[in-house]
């Protein structure tokens, strides 16, 4: 699986510098950080950190960050960006289900658009939950099922047998929480617009995103679950 993501590492990182990519990151991180509530000095694990977008932002906020990913090329990009900024981030290459980390060592765990590619997501969540201190938070964001975004990626997967999305499983908020039915749980969503609007208009996109009627009828393209570990 790591090699599959190696092949798209540069393209993945570059997408976040496009108009659409930067807007998506802005909207998603508003949801992620609202649930995570990161605080300086906390220890946080970024699970499936990719090219380090959240890893680096959290380190810049003053948190002690560990980034874990199975893709060596994704991590190489993340390490280079962190080094350029002088950020002391601990990056680990590996699969969360196959490495040993001390339990109860993190205040927070965050993972964004990674779990949908895990072959055993429930096992991964149980492993990560064990890494949390009592009262710690686990925030997991995924591509939302039955949304504009999941439909778009499923179409791409049918057109390209080598697409990473042939390995993806998408979830609704309730399905995400059901993967690990422990602790205090809730979820939120965003991205109520299609990813293939042409021509792209930031104003039109944000109008759709904030339209209450659309939100009542359309499934969110990004779903973010929160688990709080009970002591």
18 belongs to a structural domain: yes
59 belongs to a structural domain: yes
204 belongs to a structural domain: no
Match 């792209």 to its residue by tokens. Answer: 200
Burial of residue 152, with CB atoms counted within 10 A of its CB: 0-12 exposed, 13-18 middle, 19 or more buried? middle
For residue 190, what are the contacts with CB-CB under 8 A and spacing of at least 6? 27, 28, 30, 31, 209, 220, 221, 222, 224
| 69, β-bridge pairs | 93
Query: Distance between terminal CA atoms of the chain?
Result: 35
210 belongs to a structural domain: no
**Number of domain units in the chain:** 1
> According to the model, what pLDDT value does residue 165 have?
94
32/49 Cα distance (integer angstroms): 14
pLDDT digits (tens, 9 = 90+) for 43-74: 999 999 999 999 999 999 999 999 999 999 99
> According to the model, what pLDDT value does residue 5 have?
83
pLDDT digits (tens, 9 = 90+) for 126-135: 999 999 999 9
Residue ranges making up the domain that contains 176? 2-190+220-228
152 belongs to a structural domain: yes
Mean pLDDT over 92-119 rounds to 96
> According to the model, what pLDDT value does residue 38 have?
99
For residue 187, what are the contacts with CB-CB under 8 A and spacing of at least 6? 173, 174, 176, 177, 223, 224, 225, 226
63 belongs to a structural domain: yes
107/122 Cα distance (integer angstroms): 20
Supply the mean pLDDT for the chain. 96
Provide the residue count of the chain: 231
pLDDT digits (tens, 9 = 90+) for 207-225: 999 999 999 999 999 999 9
- What does pTM read for this prediction? 0.96
Q: What are the tokens at 138?
A: 């686990």
Mean pLDDT over 181-205 rounds to 95
207 belongs to a structural domain: no
Look up the CATH number of the domain holding residue 124. 3.40.50.150
Which secondary-structure segment (H or E) carries 134? strand 132-143
14 belongs to a structural domain: yes
């Amino acid at each position: 699986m790591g090699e599959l993501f190696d092949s798209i590492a540069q393209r993945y990182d570059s997408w976040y510098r496009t108009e659409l990519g930067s807007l998506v990151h802005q909207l998603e991180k508003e949801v992620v950080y609202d649930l995570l509530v990161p605080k300086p000095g906390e220890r946080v694990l970024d699970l499936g950190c990719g090219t380090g977008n959240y890893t680096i932002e959290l380190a810049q906020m003053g948190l002690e960050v560990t980034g874990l990913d199975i893709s060596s090329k994704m991590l190489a990009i993340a390490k280079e960006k962190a080094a350029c900024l002088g950020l002391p981030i601990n990056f680990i290459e590996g699969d969360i289900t196959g490495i040993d980390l001390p339990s109860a060592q993190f205040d927070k765990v965050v993972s964004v658009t990674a779990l949908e590619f895990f072959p055993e997501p429930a096992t991964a969540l149980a492993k990560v939950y064990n890494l949390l201190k009592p009262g710690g938070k686990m925030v997991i964001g995924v591509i939302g099922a039955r949304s504009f975004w999941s439909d778009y990626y499923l179409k791409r997967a049918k057109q390209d047998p080598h697409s990473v999305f042939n390995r993806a499983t998408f979830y609704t908020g309730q399905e995400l929480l059901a993967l690990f039915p422990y602790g205090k749980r809730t979820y939120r969503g965003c991205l109520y617009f299609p990813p293939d609007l042409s021509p792209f208009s930031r104003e039109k996109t944000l109008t759709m995103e904030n339209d209450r009627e659309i939100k009542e009828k359309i499934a969110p393209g990004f779903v973010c679950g929160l688990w709080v570990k009970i002591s």
